[in-house]
Structure 1
Amino acid sequence: MKDAPVQTLAAGRPVPTRGMVSLLAALAAIGALSTNIILPSFPAIGAGLGVSDAQLGVTLSIFFVVFAIGQLIVGPLSDRYGRRKLVIGGLLLFAAGGVICSLSPNLTWLVLGRAAQAAGVCAASVLARAIARDLFEGETLSKVLAMVIVAMAAAPGFSPLLGSVAEQFVGWRWTFATVSALGLILASWYALRLPETHATSRRTPLAIGPVFAAYTQLLRDARFMRPATVVACVTGALYGFFDAAPAVLIGALGLSSLLLGFFFAATVPVVFAAGLLVPKLSGRWGPQKTLQLGVMLSLAGGMLICGVNVQAPTNLVGFTAALCVFLFGMGMANPVGTALSLAPFAAQAGAASAMLGFMQMSGAALGATFVTKLAGLSPMAALGLVVVASQVLSIALFALLRQQPPKPYAR
């Protein structure tokens, strides 16, 4: 499939090409990739800087916090000034943050570098969805977002394996440098491939009052909140799995750290398969029913994980099968929920994408926290409980918000 000329993008809705979709997927995925890639290097980083794994946990916390809050700032800025400068500038800041991490003499500099990485890469992540909304609509938007969100969900699955391999061959400092190089390559690709996609005529003023009002209206609008809460809940369950996986797979099921990385990577095709199925199901049943089916499958996966924990807590095959049911449902619910959240808000795509991203990262932080805080439960039981509880919550909120009429959105 040959890419359309760049100059046709401003004239109307382009036909999505492989190159364009791959670029948007890469923009969305690099943030998720950089979240987990350092996990296998924790022992080496701790030894090199003289700190414990527990102290290194702040490098993850600061990344989540800055990433979540940064999206709320980037979204309105992009609605006012456009996407292009923020994406390129953000990726350059991300690359600089990686260099700071690679040269860090102590934990303080490493935390500062991780904060810079998060502040820069959040622009690429949140604006990948906004750019897709700028360019496409309807069923085409759903198809493109399916690929973008699948890449975003799959990246954390590949990143521990990539981090493990990089740690063995080049060391943790060069791992950060390599991630920085990827950021520079992606910035160049974007600069050469896409022009500005947010037309000047559709830009909105930038002021604290209107920005606050825009976010408030989104939070009060059932058209946004119904699918967005589903996305936040399935994301929370997914990151609960990432947090619990080492204890479950290494501690309970006896895998090595390298096999853990391969296990993560082996689950990625399940998410891809679900994402490929979403456009077909949405075309046949509609996006709302497809979203509900994804949530129900995620809930079933969580219940199966609980069942495995009770019946056969050392059964790798049983756990893997139950996990795949959850991942398949998550892979369906995430992209269609994202498309439904953004579709009604063309002029505010940046703000809507930012709020959605904030809710996703908040869900991720809560899911990971609850898995670790459920004292007295085995890691597998805690994971199953978090998955079930999050999906039950999303079902309840989805039903509750249905009773709210859509709010008129201020232009």
Structure 2
Amino acid sequence: MTPVERRASFSLAGIFGLRMLGMFIILPVFALFAAHLPGGQDKARVGLALGAYGLTQAFFQIPLGWLSDRVGRKPVIMGGLLVFALGSFMAASAQTLTGITVGRAIQGTGAIAAALIALTADLTKEQNRTTAMAMIGVTIGLTFTLSMVISPILYPLIGVPGLFMLTGVLALSAIAVTKWVVPNPPAQLEVDRVSFGSVLTHIELLRLNFGIFVLHASLMATFIVVPTALVQAGLAQPEHWKLYLPVMIGSFILMVPPVAFAHGKWRKQVFLGALMVVLVAHGMMHFALGNIWGTALALLVFFVGFNVLEASLPSLVTLVAPPNAKGTATGVYSTIQFLGTFVGATGAGVLTQHFGASIVPLFTAGLTFLWLVVAWPMQVNKPTNGG
């Protein structure tokens, strides 16, 4: 990597991490916090409050990705961060579950993931892009780890409102990083525009988009049930970080070898292998709920596969997308990603409310098996410009 590419990769990964913190940091504690609010015993409403962020993210990713292809990446990113901060402050000041849901929805309208991924592709050479995207994926994983560890520690001190306030302040700081640290992308040459329909019908993009939907639906669904299950198994909420920390450290160590091989001729094999690991983890979680050690082991297996897939998917999208439609393609990808967070959170909430927590891992296992079937014929070893 050149110095400019390293600067771009580290700064954009940092912005992505700060952005994802807004989704992750409340996961370990929100269901417990919401139980003390009016209506908080209704798991479907709790799932909606968590998932509202993903729903509005899904709605705005495509138009803002398209807009970034035309007015530039940085204006879209800075505007989205400002809106995200506003939603964070609104959620922090809310006194009801409905108010928090509205704040989460406004957070999600600052949908910048597509523009961030496209800007990363703009600022890196093709041979270095997988590394840059992997840095973003690892940063997302580190952000998740940090959230799992510090959220249970901060919750007794500042509560969920304080966590929302923190994410708003971090979003404002990310605007400064975007403005003064991230390199400016090269001027876009005038090229023939690729039709929106061709992006929507690109077979390999469709496979990848379905994959990110399932991956994030599974993540959100898992954390609708795991925090409560751990408390019921005898692990008090302030002690949850003692489980999450070794799980996440272990998963990062174990993900290094497959990520190192996740390029060239081994790309597909590593990808499908990680997908099968996630499928096994969901099966383990079905039997492990209610057992602290079993849940920890299932989470460890899950996050090994999750981290590899999270690092691989955005790189593959920019690899196969038409070069002059990266913003649009990543907009569709990010839309489907956050739609997955909405479906996972709300679906798990409804399932738990009516059938109990143990049904949720079966739901995520079914989705993951379907993804494996869809992904099996994938052809992503070489860049393509068509559908």
Q: Do both share a fold (TM > 0.5)?
A: yes
Alpha-carbon shift at residue 314 of structure 1 (Å): 4.5
The corresponding residue for 2:128 is 140
- Is residue 79 of structure 1 aligned with residue 69 of structure 2? yes
2:324 partner SS = coil
Output aligned runs, 1:3-402, within 5 Å: 4=3, 14=4, 16-17=5-6, 19-38=7-26, 40=29, 52=40, 54=42, 57-104=47-94, 109-120=99-110, 122-123=111-112, 125-197=113-185, 199-201=187-189, 213-214=195-196, 216-251=197-232, 253-273=233-253, 275-283=255-263, 285-306=265-286, 308-309=287-288, 314-345=290-321, 346-374=323-351, 379=357, 381-399=358-376
Deviation at residue 249 of structure 1 after TM alignment: 1.8
- Label 1:339 to 1:102 Cα distance change in 2 as closer, same or farther (>3 A): same
| 1:195-247, Cα deviation, whole Å (9 max, x unpaired) | 33263325787xxxx8xx41x32232122122332232222222221222123
Partner amino acid, structure 1, of 2:256: L
Is this contact kept in 2: 1:275–1:335, CA < 8 A? no
Alignment partner of 2:306: what SS?
helix
User: Please, which moves more after superposition, 218-227 or 348-357?
Assistant: 218-227
Q: Quick check: 1:83–1:198 contact (8 Å CA) kept in 2?
A: no
8 Å Cα contact 1:291/1:333 also seen in 2? yes
**Change beyond 3 A, Cα 1:270–1:377:** farther
Question: Is the contact between residue 161 and residue 258 of structure 1 (CA under 8 Å) also seen in structure 2?
Answer: no
| 1:108-127 C-alpha deviation (Å, 9 max, x unpaired) | 6544433332212x21x332
Aligned pair count reads: 379
Counterparts of 2:208 and 2:83 in 1: how far apart (Å)?
Answer: 32
- From the superposition, tell whether residues 322 and 93 of structure 1 become closer, same or farther in structure 2 (CA, over 3 Å): closer
Find the aligned partners of 2:206 and 2:125 in 1 and give their Cα distance.
19
Could you tell me how far 1:42 is from its partner in structure 2? Answer: 6.3
Whole-Å Cα distance in 2 between the matches of residues 361 and 114 of structure 1? 13
Call closer, same or farther: CA 1:65–1:178 in 2, change over 3 Å: same
Q: Is the 8 A contact 1:32 1:155 kept in 2?
A: yes
What's the CA shift for 1:61? 3.2
CA distance in 2, matches of 1:374, 1:50: 20
SS at match of 1:239: helix
Counterpart Cα distance in 2 of 1:368 and 1:58: 7
Question: C-alpha offsets along residues 327-379 of structure 1, whole Å, 9 cap, x if unaligned?
Answer: 21222122222211221222211111111111112222333344344467652
- CA 1:82–1:398 in structure 2 vs 1: closer, same or farther (change >3 Å)? same
Q: Matched residue of 2:235: which SS?
A: coil
Shift of 1:89: 1.6
Letter in structure 1 aligned against 2:207: R
Structure showing greater relative contact order (alpha-carbon pairs closer than 8 Å, 6 or more residues apart) = 2
Query: CA-to-partner distance for each residue in 1:145-181, whole Å, 9 max, x for gaps?
Result: 1121232244344325433333322344433322221
Q: 1:279 Cα deviation (Å)? A: 4.2
The answer for unaligned runs of 5 or more in structure 1 is: 5-13
Deviates more, 1:66-75 or 1:255-264: 255-264
Q: 1:137 to 1:344 in 2, by over 3 A?
A: farther
Give the secondary structure class of the aligned counterpart of 1:200. coil
Contact 1:75–1:351 (Cα < 8 Å) also in 2: yes
Q: Which ranges in structure 2 are unaligned for 5 or more consecutive residues? A: none
**Mapped partners of 2:279, 2:30: distance in 1:** 33
Instruction: Give the 3 Å change call, closer, same or farther, for CA 217–117 of structure 1 in structure 2.
Output: same
Q: Distance in 2 between matches of 1:37 and 1:257?
A: 14
> Cα offset for 1:408?
5.9
Contact 2:87 2:106 in 1 (8 A): yes
Q: CA deviation at 1:43?
A: 6.2
Q: Is the 8 A contact 1:24 1:148 kept in 2?
A: yes
Kept after mapping to 1: 8 A contact 2:50/2:345: no
C-alpha displacement at 1:91, in angstroms?
A: 1.3
* 1:146–1:276 CA contact under 8 A, matched in 2: no
**Distance in 2, Cα, partners of 1:296 & 1:65:** 27
Question: Greater CA radius of gyration, 1 or 2?
Answer: 1
Cα distance in 2 for partners of 1:386, 1:139 equals: 38
Q: CA 1:272 to 1:90, structure 2 compared with 1: closer, same or farther past 3 Å?
A: same
For 1:357, the aligned partner's letter is S
